[in-house]
Chain A
Amino acid sequence: QKEVEQDPGPLSVPEGAIVSLNCTYSNSAFQYFMWYRQYSRKGPELLMYTYSSGNKEDGRFTAQVDKSSKYISLFIRDSQPSDSATYLCAAGSARQLTFGSGTQLTVLP
Chain B
Amino acid sequence: DAEITQSPRHKITETGRQVTLACHQTWNHNNMFWYRQDLGHGLRLIHYSYGVHDTNKGEVSDGYSVSRSNTEDLPLTLESAASSQTSVYFCASSRAITDTQYFGPGTRLTVL
Contact = CB atoms under 8 A, between A and B. Distances in A.
A45 B103 contact: yes
B39 to A, nearest CB: 9
Nearest to B40: A101
B107 to A, nearest CB: 10
B90 A96 contact: no
A49 B100 contact: yes
Interface string B38-57: 00111111001000000000
B77 interface: no
Interface residues of B, number: 20
Interface string A59-77: 0000000000000000000
Contact of A96 (B41, B45, B102): B45
Contact of B42 (A43, A45, A101): A101
A44 B98 contact: no
Nearest to B106: A43
A34 B101 CA distance: 10
B104 A97 contact: no
Interface string A7-50: 01000000000000000000000011010100001111110010
Interface string B79-112: 0000000000010100001101111111000000
A94 B40 CA distance: 26
B97 A95 contact: yes
Interface in B1-47: 35, 40-45
Nearest to A94: B97
B90 A43 contact: yes
A99 B102 CA distance: 14
A99 B42 contact: yes
B43 A88 contact: yes
Contacts of A31: 98
- Of all A-B residue pairs in the complex, the 3 with the closest CB atoms, nearest first, are A43-B103, A101-B42, A99-B43
Interface of B: 35, 40-45, 48, 58, 90, 92, 97-98, 100-106
